[in-house]
Amino acid sequence: MSQTSKASVTFVTIDAEGAGQRLDNFLLRELKGVPKSRVYKLIRGGEVRVNKGRADAMQRLEAGDVVRIPPVRVADKPDLAPAAAASERIMLPVVFEDEALLVIDKPAGIAVHGGSGVSFGVIELLRAQRPQARFLELVHRLDRETSGLLIVAKKRSALTAMHDLLRDGHDIDKRYLALVKGAWPDEKRNLKYKLFKYTTPDGERRVRVAPDGQDAHTVIYRRERWDDAALVECELKTGRTHQIRVHLATAGFPILGDEKYGDFALNKALVRRGLKRMFLHAWRLGFRHPITGVPLKLEAPLPPELAGYVTHLNQQESN
């Protein structure tokens, strides 16, 4: 991909590696620090051009296309020093890696990327730990409090193909394990609540069930049950923000340790019993490799702090 500038306007020529990506996704990566709303406004206003013509946000770029990017004030680049300092002490276990993809088992408590008061995240750590890497981009996200499998693309072509896979949703199997309040009664239940994203007055991102929200579908399978809790497996049919957390809370079975949608008084008591984080873990991924087409089935077992609490519940019940 080559770039030229003229009077602060940037012209980017798309190469073979960059071909196939949508214009909006391309711009969001090129203009890091610019709000999404601003990027889409630039496209709608015709300030962004492809081969000298107006373009739609959904347009797929082809090799040889020339994208005109107008001068835009980008937020200051993030300070990489905190990530570099932390990269030596924070290890990110690798579950799978080849020339196109990297899949890690993300620990709880680490954001996937820096920003909004977070000095660094997983992607900044990876870039600090792999300074020779030419391309590292998140394929999807996990909440800061959630642990488990996280996919990172090492090639732009892999990133584009994985985004297509996630958007379709039918060819990827994403499973989470959650411990919920209450004895979940069904072996299997479909949850289909429409979800609406909003921001609180203090800038916190939240989600609620609303008739005008986006369609969201989670399949819940019961794995274990106790008198006042249950371990459930959650299959994502869609990938909305906070989907599992809001779906389970709306169904009357909030995730234990969830500080946004859970039972706050119970969460305080759980800390004293040994559960000091939200019990949500992305444990399994199944999909075809975006480049080779080989089926992949990846798993990350429950981390010790969550597995230990399940053991505690079993011991409590046997006494």
Kindly list the catalytic residues: 143
Report the distance separating Cα 251 and Cα 217, nearest Å.
13
Nearest CA among 213, 186, 194, 176 for reference residue 302: 176
Burial class for 162, CB neighbours closer than 10 Å (0-12, 13-18, 19+)? buried
Q: Within its chain, how far is the Cα of 255 from the centroid?
A: 18
Burial 91-113 (b: 16+ CB within 10 A, else e): ebeebeeeebbbbbbbbbebbbb
Report the distance separating Cα 179 and Cα 201, nearest Å.
30
Report the distance separating Cα 287 and Cα 238, nearest Å.
15
- Return all residues near 284 (Cβ < 8 A) that are at least 6 apart: 149, 173, 174, 175, 297, 298, 299, 300
Distances (CA, A) of 137 to 113, 141, 157, 229: 10, 11, 11, 37
Residue 40 half-sphere exposure toward CB, CA atoms < 13 A: 4
